[in-house]
A and B are shown apart, each in its own frame.
Chain A
Amino acid sequence: MARNLDEQQPTLQRLLAVLSAPALRRLLAYASAGTQDALEYRADFFVRTILGLTPFFVDALVWIAVFRSRPETHIGIYDLPRLLSYLVASQMTLQLVNSGRVDERIAQDIRDGVLSAYLLRPMGNLEYRLATAAGKKLAALPGVILPFVVIFVVFRGSLGMQLEAWRFGVFAVSLIIAAVLNFVVDYLIGLACFWVLEVSALFFVKNWITAFLAGSMMPVDLFPGWLGRLAAVLPFRYTVDFPVRVLVGIATPDEIIGGLLLQAAWLCAITVVVRFAWRAGLRRYEAVGG
């Protein structure tokens, strides 16, 4: 069976196989199918993004009130303009790294037994899902970015951003790693469905934890001691907080190099865990399916 062959190949060999031309074409085919799928709902994306801006406005109002309620001009390293630009950029990043609920899709496939159909595809499930999600994301990109560009332009007087060309470049790189990192974390949560029947609680908890620890509600370096230490040792801050610090001009070149390395390290580590969990889960899946 195709799947068994797939499973028996060493990981390195499979990685190389993915990079070979026919495999790449297959990936691109799935990606473009994802794109077409998403283009039909582009209007939907736009509405979603605009509505997705409300958390930023609500939090911005809270922080404006905070700065008005105290005599000092700074909280930590932030004055109000810099804090606001952090919040805008983090909302944008949060939407850009969103995995398209891959966790729920996988969980549903496992629960409904539909997974068998995917096992026959000419590539691993993770690669297939990633390609589809990447294609969808590409189509959604203009709709997601545009409202934020409008905000950046309209409020440029109140936002304290030092826009430098090289920061955009590094941001793009760290954003891609962040998106894939977020994707594999979500994928891993979805795989939990091999063992637990009802995983929606897990999704909720994961969403709340990541949203907070990633820095989507406030900058991670404003967290009190214990929470700051927790955020520092977990991978979530590399999905939002780090790319944002790069973009809005907080991260120094030293921090950027270290951050990119840690991002990549987390990505590799979690991908390995995913592979491991996938194999273990599949054995269980077969046992149940008979």
Chain B
Amino acid sequence: MTSISALGTVRRYARLYRAFVRNCLMREMEFNFNFLSLVIADLFGLGTTMLFFSIIYSKVETLAGWTRWETLFFLGTFYLVDAVNMMVFMHNVFRLPWYVRTGDLDLVLVKPVDAQFYVMTRYFHLGHVSQLIGSLILIAYSWMHLGVSLSLPRIILFVLLCFNGFLILGVSFFVMAEPSLWMVRSEGFMALDALFQFALRPDGIYGRVLRFIFTALVPMTVIASFPARLMFGKITWLEVAWSFAATAIIIAASRMLWRYGLRRYESASS
């Protein structure tokens, strides 16, 4: 019985999410200036990082064991995960303090839908689709030079690990936003934004201590280095298992913090 009702729930939420996306696409077509600026900003972000590494690789053959094509593949993976997060979660996460300040959270809480799901996914941003396309091109291009064999299980596991990285990324930022339910300001965003930079470099450059910190304590390497290394066959099963476990832990934490925050949340005005 539970499995049937769980399936029904998934189907209901999928339908709801389709409605969110459709609604946002219509809005976005109306403000194409904004769309253009997102496209330009994303492409420049991608461009400078590529430039940085192309200069680095003009000085070395391999960087901490990563070849040029491996690093390019890693960058493609990172920007893929980042693009999906930017399209799905990120703009919503920034909205949480705004929901609280305006009292609009009250309206969300009375809707017949999980409030955290609603707040995290309500607004879909197509604008980052250019980064998505750019990253896929990068992945395809670097893969052609990698010369690794493809098998279906490996591709499926790669997609799963990327999806896992996307969840970790979005939910960690949401965890940082959650204190705004009961505090006026929080520095958490800035902190995570800074730590996030450690996800944008191949994890080979970290020594043993830093790698432990950025894998076990703040799972930054899990976001893109792990899926990339899976494709080169340079990953252990323990690392794969930990990727999923870390996501489960962070989701559970965000859930607990959300409940706690709602208990302490006092509606604005009225």
| A contact set with B: CB distance below 8 Å | 44, 47-48, 51-52, 54-55, 58, 61-62, 64-66, 68-70, 75, 197-198, 200-201, 204-205, 208-209, 211-212, 217-218, 222-224, 227
Chain A residues with Cβ under 8 A from B195's Cβ? 54
Of all chain B residues, the one with the shortest Cβ separation from A47 is B187
Contact between B33 and A197, CB atoms less than 8 A apart: yes
Contact between B63 and A66, CB atoms less than 8 A apart: yes
List B9-48 residues whose CB lies under 8 Å from chain A: 33-34, 36-37, 40-41, 44-45, 47-48
B232 is an interface residue with CB less than 8 A from chain A: no
Cα of A47 to Cα of B185 in the assembled complex, Å = 13
Chain B residues with Cβ under 8 A from A62's Cβ? 56, 63, 201, 205
Of all chain A residues, the one with the shortest Cβ separation from B187 is A47
Cα of A197 to Cα of B36 in the assembled complex, Å = 13
B200 is an interface residue with CB less than 8 A from chain A: yes
CB within 8 A of B55: which of A61, A209, A218? Answer: A218
Contact between B197 and A54, CB atoms less than 8 A apart: yes
Cα of A75 to Cα of B58 in the assembled complex, Å = 11
With A58-B201, A205-B41 as contacts: A198 and B33 at CB distance below 8 Å? yes
Question: Can you list 15 A-B pairs with a CB-CB distance of less than 8 A?
Answer: A47-B190, A58-B197, A61-B201, A61-B205, A65-B204, A65-B205, A66-B60, A66-B63, A69-B62, A70-B60, A198-B33, A198-B37, A200-B37, A201-B37, A217-B48
With A66-B63, A70-B60 as contacts: A54 and B52 at CB distance below 8 Å? no
Cβ-closest 9 pairs across A and B: A201-B37, A204-B41, A198-B33, A65-B64, A51-B194, A54-B194, A65-B205, A208-B44, A69-B60
Of all chain B residues, the one with the shortest Cβ separation from A50 is B194
Cα of A224 to Cα of B206 in the assembled complex, Å = 27
Chain B residues with Cβ under 8 A from A47's Cβ? 187, 190
Contact between A64 and B48, CB atoms less than 8 A apart: no
A279 to chain B, nearest CB (A): 26
Contact between B52 and A65, CB atoms less than 8 A apart: no
Chain A residues with Cβ under 8 A from B45's Cβ? 208
B253 to chain A, nearest CB (A): 22
With A58-B200, A70-B59 as contacts: A208 and B48 at CB distance below 8 Å? yes
A111 to chain B, nearest CB (A): 12
Contact between A61 and B210, CB atoms less than 8 A apart: yes
Chain B residues with Cβ under 8 A from A61's Cβ? 201, 205-206, 210
Cα of A66 to Cα of B64 in the assembled complex, Å = 7
* Total CB contacts across the A-B interface at under 8 A: 83
Q: Mark B202-228, 1 if CB is under 8 A from A, else 0.
A: 001110001000000000000000000
Chain B residues with Cβ under 8 A from A212's Cβ? 48, 51-52
B113 is an interface residue with CB less than 8 A from chain A: no
Chain A residues with Cβ under 8 A from B206's Cβ? 61
Q: Mark B163-196, 1 if CB is under 8 A from A, else 0.
A: 0000000000000000000000001001101110
Chain B residues with Cβ under 8 A from A64's Cβ? 205
Contact between A224 and B197, CB atoms less than 8 A apart: no
Contact between B52 and A69, CB atoms less than 8 A apart: no
Chain A residues with Cβ under 8 A from B198's Cβ? 54, 58
A199 to chain B, nearest CB (A): 8
Contact between A68 and B190, CB atoms less than 8 A apart: no
Of all chain B residues, the one with the shortest Cβ separation from A54 is B194
Most buried by B among A47, A52, A62, A209: A62
B114 is an interface residue with CB less than 8 A from chain A: no
Cα of A132 to Cα of B44 in the assembled complex, Å = 31
Of all chain B residues, the one with the shortest Cβ separation from A227 is B51
Cα of A68 to Cα of B191 in the assembled complex, Å = 30
Of all chain B residues, the one with the shortest Cβ separation from A60 is B205
Cα of A54 to Cα of B51 in the assembled complex, Å = 20
Cα of A224 to Cα of B45 in the assembled complex, Å = 19
Chain B residues with Cβ under 8 A from A200's Cβ? 34, 37, 41
B106 is an interface residue with CB less than 8 A from chain A: no
Seed contacts A66-B63, A198-B33, A201-B40; 13 additional CB < 8 Å A-B pairs:
A51-B191, A51-B194, A65-B205, A66-B56, A66-B60, A69-B61, A69-B62, A70-B59, A70-B61, A204-B40, A208-B48, A222-B55, A223-B55
Chain A residues with Cβ under 8 A from B64's Cβ? 65, 68-69
Chain B residues with Cβ under 8 A from A48's Cβ? 190
Chain B residues with Cβ under 8 A from A211's Cβ? 48
List B49-90 residues whose CB lies under 8 Å from chain A: 51-52, 55-56, 58-64
Cα of A69 to Cα of B60 in the assembled complex, Å = 7
Contact between B190 and A51, CB atoms less than 8 A apart: yes
Cα of A61 to Cα of B199 in the assembled complex, Å = 13
Cα of A155 to Cα of B201 in the assembled complex, Å = 23
Contact between A201 and B190, CB atoms less than 8 A apart: no
Chain A residues with Cβ under 8 A from B56's Cβ? 62, 66
Chain A residues with Cβ under 8 A from B60's Cβ? 66, 69-70
Contact between A205 and B44, CB atoms less than 8 A apart: yes
With A47-B190, A69-B64 as contacts: A55 and B210 at CB distance below 8 Å? no
